[in-house]
Structure 1
Amino acid sequence: MTSLASSTVPSETPHSSHRWWTLAVVALAQLMVVLDATVVNIALPSAQADLGFSNADRQWVVTAYSLAFGSLLLLGGRLSDLVGRKRMFIIGLIGFAGASALGGAAGTFGLLVAARALQGVFGALLAPTALAVLTTTFTIPKERARAFGVFGALAGAGGAVGLLLGGVLTQNFDWRWNLYINDVIALVALVGAIFLVPNLRRTGPRPKLDVPGTLLVSGALFGLVYGFSNAEKDGWDSPATWGFLAGSVVLLTAFVLWQRRASHPLLPLAILKDRNRSTAYSSVMIAAVGMFGVFLFVTYYVQQTLHYSPIQTGVSFLPMIGMLVLAAQLSTNVFVPRFGPKVMVPIGMALAATSMVLLTRLGVDSSYAPDVLVPLMFMGAGMGSIMPASMQTATLGVDRQYAGVAGAMVNTSQQVGGSIGTALLNTLAATAATGYLASHTPMTAAVAAAAAVQSYSTAYWWCAAFFGAGAVLAAVGFRRRDQGLSLSTAHAASPQAASPVREDAVTVGA
């Protein structure tokens, strides 16, 4: 059993009348960060035509964001713990808005990539801080469940919202508005943050930032994201792929060893030793891998095979978003309190795996309804069962002084899952397409279309396998409901946790 002690003193009770407005502000910021990972994708062809960069270079518009975002998440989470949630939240909003304005006004490819990297930097400050604000604002279990239901739904649906919004903005306005839209969202969130986000005041000595740990983990995450991103372009046998991945493993090992002896660790290992929490992080990562398969390959299918426009492509995901939101609310308000994540997360994984198996049946002559619509509905139900329960469990019972880094681990799990999904599934799909074309000659338009569908099917089967493994992992890893809830009940009921003056020891451990 490990005890994490806090010196944080809230200046106001977290149960203020503004807490639901705080949720709206935090959810808006989270939506901005999540959708920005996909909203720019649809704008890429127009941006490429306008700025004149090559096909080989266009990946950097996406990769620059993911590299900065993924490698700095743990630093952003720790800074929110040390500097203050509200202050870091506001800094993240202002910086993200400024980077978005710079990217929207970019007249050269280099400036656009630099702006996207800056978006990633401030997104790494904003995303874990948003989750930490939510964690420290909602401490009553029933209200916490509702809040995380909304937050988890946005985390799962943000990518699809980005596809829809990107299609509308690109088709009806200009590609630059895919970046400028962030300024509109950030402005609203900024006003709300100034007046509504609670300010938690720290007393006592301020812990120091773990500089060696920060350098080690940032380098490890950079190597991981870059290595997997490079695998998509140059293949797994490229030194720029396996070299960075191997370097990432070395740095990550050194980071763990350092955290065991650091006086002010960036990531207290006690956070990861809790079985429920580590299983929740793993579930989030697996869900991110599978969601990539849906967003990328279904998008390609409906655009290239069904010949949908960008707006129609975005609209085609709306039923999935609706099902995800419904499932998230039912899960967090009805099913998770009754059955716990040990039941709900495996059910969600099974629903998502079913969705992928159904998608493998798509052919060149399939139609949207029911061939695409039904699997998307299953996926929405699955994500709505996985994400809120996992995200809530991942931050449950963590002392306030570590809420930022615990939230950062959620976002890091998503980012790592997305990076793995990008490289692995794209490579597997490309290999399947090449094999199909080699065995079906001569190549005609019909053969090329069939090869594309075959490549998507291969990716769906692998996603189904990931979700199947995730179901087993969640069923075995999560504690039974009574064991898992004992942590949160003890925390919520303790005078120390409820008191606005003092918060001492929160027990985290098996």
Structure 2
Amino acid sequence: MSSTAFAVRRSRWAALVVLCAGFLVIVLDQTIVNVALPSIQADLGFTPAGLTWVVNAYLIAFGGLLLLAGRLGDLVGRRRVFLGGLVVFVLASLWCGLATDRSMLIAARFVQGVGGAVTSAVILGMIVGLFPDPRELGKAIGVYGFVGSGGAAAGLLLGGVLTEALSWHWIFFVNVPVGVLIVVSGLRVLADDRVGGPRRGADAAGAVLVTAALMTGSYVILKAPDTGLGSLRTVGLGALALVLFGAFLIRQATAPTPLLPLRVFRSRSLSGGNLVLGLMLAGMFAQMFLGALYLQLVLGFTPLQIGMGYLPVAVSIGLLSVGASARLNARFGAHRVAVAGLVVIAAGLVVFGRAPVGGDYVGDVLPALLCLGVGGGVAFPALVTIAMSGVSAEDAGLASGVNNTVQQVGGALGLAVVATIAAFRSDELLAQGVDRAAALDGGYDAGFAVAAGIVVTAAILGAILLRPQRPKEGNPEARSSEPGHLEPAAGRDASVGCTS
């Protein structure tokens, strides 16, 4: 390898470190807050219903802006969008940490969600542009997968440490120096990929429609466990979200320069990979929520113990995502690895659902967490690889935004459905005279069963939708089309996203 080639390769991996560090800050923030909620409630005087808005304000902004931010990166430059979003996130984090009343914290969390969405929406597209070689891209997506999955589990541990050792304010303050360091590093190692500003007529109407649709849908999903899946508010606002999204799709089919060109969904890899990924994360998000509640309310774990208890998930995902997943994809095919990982995840959910009231962590919980870590460590990178395969350079930011939107909406929808079913079952058992711990455990068992069913559905769809296409008859030179086999996209610049 020549000195120039080595320098370019090194700069690519330096850029990947910066991008994944930015992604890690966003991912950690989504789970680190959950551990500190009781302290925030006691300090600021939140009601139980009001406390949910500390999380919901962030998630509504985050889920609503991902698609728009991803396309904006294609139009004005993904580096500019990434760094700009990170600056907003850092300033909002400082605002959150300085909050002295309820309304101040909720407003700051909404702005923090805006920054988080803008930052994370373009990261995957930048990674695809950085690594035109399929083998290197597989390794890079493995690192991205580890940060996404392992970071969520690590957030529980970090949240417990900061809350117990200092105060809840520090779960936000910690983002400030880290974020500043990432911005400074990004200015040095990320290449300027601006494309001359937005194209004429960049579909402002479409941007308004999709943002309104996703924010309304996110609100409905997040509030469904409280208002009920069949309530007038849930059904009415859900219908409004569907109407807005339908109007957005009509707009995209007729606009001269659509925000979301519908042609991208002709790709079986992109459509099928995102569908299966969304279902997988619906089950995974639900298990983190139910698992943390089981450890806290049934086994009596402290916040710090909950974080320590989930470390096997982060460790398992880390060992498999970085390196091993790329080798498995290359040897067996990303679709086979994804389906196998989904089966292991489903098995882990079934095992977790069988944990009794007087359960033992080592005997009842740890085997389930290891299954979830192993399955997630191979399935997540494989599905992201499939979803991003064959994406052109001009649509990389859009595909990244779609992928992140699917992750967010899929996870939130799965959590809403599973949490509602678990709560309903617990209330039913309490009405029958069952003691509280047993009623909670019964509700969690029902929730885990539903989550396992969702992941099994994902595995079945993955086996059907993601399998390679057979060569056409009469064309002996045609090769089997393997979803997840990443050929360098036409027009992709190998140096995009890094300085050389």
Matches within 5 A, 1:8-407: 15-202=8-195, 206=199, 208-407=201-400
Q: Distance in 2 between matches of 1:168 and 1:500?
A: 40
Deviation, structure 1 residue 238: 2.5
Contact kept, 8 Å, 1:433 with 1:454, in 2: the verdict is yes
Any idea what SS the aligned residue of 1:479 has?
Answer: coil
User: What are the superposed Cα offsets for residues 75-126 of structure 1, whole Å, 9 maximum, x if unpaired?
Assistant: 1111111111111111111110000000100111101000100011111110
Q: Distance in 1 between matches of 2:117 and 2:317?
A: 25
Contact kept, 8 Å, 2:157 with 2:306, in 1: the verdict is yes
Q: 2:480 aligns with which of 479, 483, 507?
A: 483
User: What are the superposed Cα offsets for residues 450-493 of structure 1, whole Å, 9 maximum, x if unpaired?
Assistant: 0000000000000110011000111111131863448855536x
Any idea what SS the aligned residue of 1:260 has?
Answer: helix
Deviation, structure 1 residue 384: 1.1
User: What are the superposed Cα offsets for residues 11-45 of structure 1, whole Å, 9 maximum, x if unpaired?
Assistant: x9995531111111111111111121111111111
Any idea what SS the aligned residue of 1:58 has?
Answer: helix
Q: 1:454 aligns with which of 433, 437, 442?
A: 442
User: What are the superposed Cα offsets for residues 108-154 of structure 1, whole Å, 9 maximum, x if unpaired?
Assistant: 11010001000111111101122222111111111101100000111
Change (3 A) 1:93 1:364: same
Equivalent pairs counted in the alignment come to 483
Q: Distance in 2 between matches of 1:450 and 1:355?
A: 21
Q: Distance in 2 between matches of 1:270 and 1:13?
A: 37
Deviation, structure 1 residue 364: 1.0
Contact kept, 8 Å, 2:335 with 2:383, in 1: the verdict is no
Q: Distance in 2 between matches of 1:462 and 1:24?
A: 37
Q: Distance in 2 between matches of 1:219 and 1:211?
A: 12
Q: Distance in 2 between matches of 1:127 and 1:204?
A: 20
Change (3 A) 1:396 1:499: same
Q: Distance in 2 between matches of 1:303 and 1:288?
A: 22
Deviation, structure 1 residue 193: 0.4
Contact kept, 8 Å, 1:14 with 1:137, in 2: the verdict is no
Mean Cα displacement is larger for which, 423-432 or 231-240? 231-240
Aligned-pair RMSD on alpha carbons?
2.1
Report the equivalent of 2:412. Answer: 419
User: What are the superposed Cα offsets for residues 259-287 of structure 1, whole Å, 9 maximum, x if unpaired?
Assistant: 11111111111211211111111122112
Mean Cα displacement is larger for which, 22-31 or 389-398? 389-398
Change (3 A) 1:486 1:317: closer
Contact kept, 8 Å, 1:43 with 1:175, in 2: the verdict is yes
Q: Distance in 2 between matches of 1:486 and 1:275?
A: 8
Q: Distance in 2 between matches of 1:489 and 1:453?
A: 44
**Structure 1: 5+ residue runs without aligned partners?**
1-11, 502-510
Report the equivalent of 2:476. Answer: none
State the AA in 2 paired with 1:44: L
Contact kept, 8 Å, 1:224 with 1:244, in 2: the verdict is yes
Q: TM-score, normalised by structure 2?
A: 0.92
**Structure 2: 5+ residue runs without aligned partners?**
470-478
Q: Distance in 2 between matches of 1:332 and 1:207?
A: 42
State the AA in 2 paired with 1:24: V
Deviation, structure 1 residue 378: 0.3
Q: Distance in 2 between matches of 1:281 and 1:39?
A: 26
Change (3 A) 1:158 1:207: farther
State the AA in 2 paired with 1:246: A
Change (3 A) 1:14 1:246: farther
Q: Does residue 1:466 correspond to 2:454, yes or no?
A: yes
Contact kept, 8 Å, 1:276 with 1:479, in 2: the verdict is no
Deviation, structure 1 residue 319: 0.8
Contact kept, 8 Å, 2:334 with 2:485, in 1: the verdict is no
Contact kept, 8 Å, 2:99 with 2:105, in 1: the verdict is yes
Q: Distance in 1 between matches of 2:456 and 2:483?
A: 28
Mean Cα displacement is larger for which, 99-108 or 86-95? 86-95
Q: TM-score, normalised by structure 1?
A: 0.91
Q: Distance in 2 between matches of 1:451 and 1:293?
A: 18
Deviation, structure 1 residue 239: 2.4
Task: Provide the identity percentage.
Answer: 36
Contact kept, 8 Å, 2:82 with 2:119, in 1: the verdict is yes
Change (3 A) 1:224 1:259: same
State the AA in 1 paired with 2:174: I
Contact kept, 8 Å, 1:227 with 1:243, in 2: the verdict is no
Contact kept, 8 Å, 1:82 with 1:207, in 2: the verdict is no
Change (3 A) 1:490 1:403: closer
Change (3 A) 1:54 1:487: closer
Q: Distance in 1 between matches of 2:346 and 2:317?
A: 15
Matches within 5 A, 1:488-503: 490-491=487-488, 496-497=491-492
Contact kept, 8 Å, 1:275 with 1:479, in 2: the verdict is no
Any idea what SS the aligned residue of 2:417 has?
Answer: helix
Change (3 A) 1:451 1:237: same
Any idea what SS the aligned residue of 1:18 has?
Answer: helix
Contact kept, 8 Å, 2:78 with 2:194, in 1: the verdict is no
Contact kept, 8 Å, 1:289 with 1:463, in 2: the verdict is yes
Change (3 A) 1:18 1:328: same
Change (3 A) 1:203 1:483: farther
